[in-house]
Chains A and B, each alone.
Chain A
């Protein structure tokens, strides 16, 4: 574990008994199953639960597991982008006292937590849990382009082509780790690839 102080620490989602509403946004089948397991013992609360599910790995069965919870709404989306567009739209209508649960791969959590923060949601109102790949969301510091699902370092920026070292430095505002040119002082000389 890195000791860089800006590194995000994800937690575990636990339904909050006194919350006026529960709002779940999750991505991927393992996240869907985990959400179903976590909420199923809370039949009473489920009437106040809205679930947004990004079915990014095309797993209909996991989606059915969520639908079977009997939540007030269980909505499915084909991609992260469509999931997060809906997440933003729902955030705008969310009332005080709602508890938000985010569950999915690291890059999803990076982006979704930044969206919640930019909509003025207090961090106490957001629970997170890493469920799925720990590939990161990275911003190239040179061209400012965002790169989704980065599984290792170094990596060539998909926007400007510069070879980037992914630093552990993390911006909650941007929802991204910093990518900085790795071979500026020795062009073409790249360190061995390391997975996260």
Chain B
């Protein structure tokens, strides 16, 4: 079912019209720059189990609400639809994960309707649910728990309407198993390849962190995750061009972009890519949702905040070589550093993430 054009037009203008491929028209408004989840609270970076409670952040920040919907929403959902059309393996769920899928649908619809009532609404009458998504022009009545009443599986249905990649982790045998997910805006990992792996296995390729017992400690922590007490962490990498779909599946196509960076185009081409990762314990299935919400910002946009400009220059400059290699920065790190150095006068930076 779709809503009338009038109702959709009413809210559509609140979202950017932009692309994450081909002509790459993506950009951030000044408001989006101000709320960007900058991931460095000091002038250097090393792995840490940087997990904290997913508590509401300041008004208008990326963590004000549990699920963040921003100006890129409509364009990101269009990009996801296109990825899925070209490669259905980006969305997979093992048969025992259906209850967790309904849990996810409940979590996302409930959060979105509560925190963005202008855009989404949800009415529940027992198992009969009525969902309205105004920005995308969708109206759906369905029976909670009955997958035949939705056009796709519950996970795919709701995540085609929510920013961020989502994985559903089953907990058994003292481990967490990546048994379902929708992954279309990933930093170079493959859901199809990793599906069915446990927590330690799917983090296998990450350098250094295993020796620091990062994953053993994180796993232990997550196995004890409590319902109603979600947690979050920030992760980051860099991406050339604002491409959401930096999948290994398409790496043979986008990898060459990393050779196109010159000192002249750094400001527009090189992006900091931040993942706001959050984890929730689900009530019915006892599974865990692992959401990976991607935020992109051009170097040219980032340096409008002088503190961030100085800090990112120092972080990139002092990054251990293994991490630079793992994050795929080798080909354009030098050009990026040279460009950023003009914004770093050596002045001290204030502690914490937020701009001055």
Interface residues of A (CB under 8 A from B): 3-7, 139, 141-142, 144, 162, 167-174, 178, 180-181, 184-187
Partner pick for A139 among B193, B201, B256, CB 8 A cutoff: B193
Kindly state the separation between the CA atoms of A35 and B313 in the bound complex, as whole angstroms: 61
Chain B residues with Cβ under 8 A from A3's Cβ?
A: 210
Known: A5-B200, A181-B252. A174 touches B193 (CB 8 A): yes
Most buried by A among B202, B204, B210, B331: B204
Nearest B residue to A177 by beta-carbon distance? Answer: B193
Kindly state the separation between the CA atoms of A185 and B332 in the bound complex, as whole angstroms: 11
> Are A172 and B204 in touch, CB under 8 angstroms?
no
* Closest-CB distance, B207 to chain A (whole angstroms): 10
For chain A, what secondary structure do more than half of its interface residues adopt (helix, strand, loop), or is it mixed?
Answer: loop
Interface residues of B (CB under 8 A from A): 89, 190, 192-197, 200-205, 210, 215, 248-256, 258-259, 331
For chain B, what secondary structure do more than half of its interface residues adopt (helix, strand, loop), or is it mixed?
Answer: helix
Kindly state the separation between the CA atoms of A172 and B198 in the bound complex, as whole angstroms: 10
Partner pick for B193 among A7, A178, A186, CB 8 A cutoff: A178
> Are B202 and A6 in touch, CB under 8 angstroms?
yes
Nearest B residue to A118 by beta-carbon distance? Answer: B196
> Are A185 and B255 in touch, CB under 8 angstroms?
yes
Chain B residues with Cβ under 8 A from A184's Cβ?
A: 251-256
> Are B331 and A185 in touch, CB under 8 angstroms?
yes
Partner pick for B190 among A6, A162, A178, A186, CB 8 A cutoff: A178
> Are A171 and B194 in touch, CB under 8 angstroms?
yes
Nearest A residue to B200 by beta-carbon distance? Answer: A5
Kindly state the separation between the CA atoms of A159 and B355 in the bound complex, as whole angstroms: 50
Kindly state the separation between the CA atoms of A126 and B205 in the bound complex, as whole angstroms: 26
Nearest A residue to B195 by beta-carbon distance? Answer: A173
Query: 7 A-B residue contacts at CB 8 Å?
Result: A6-B202, A142-B252, A144-B89, A171-B195, A172-B201, A173-B197, A180-B248
Nearest B residue to A180 by beta-carbon distance? Answer: B248
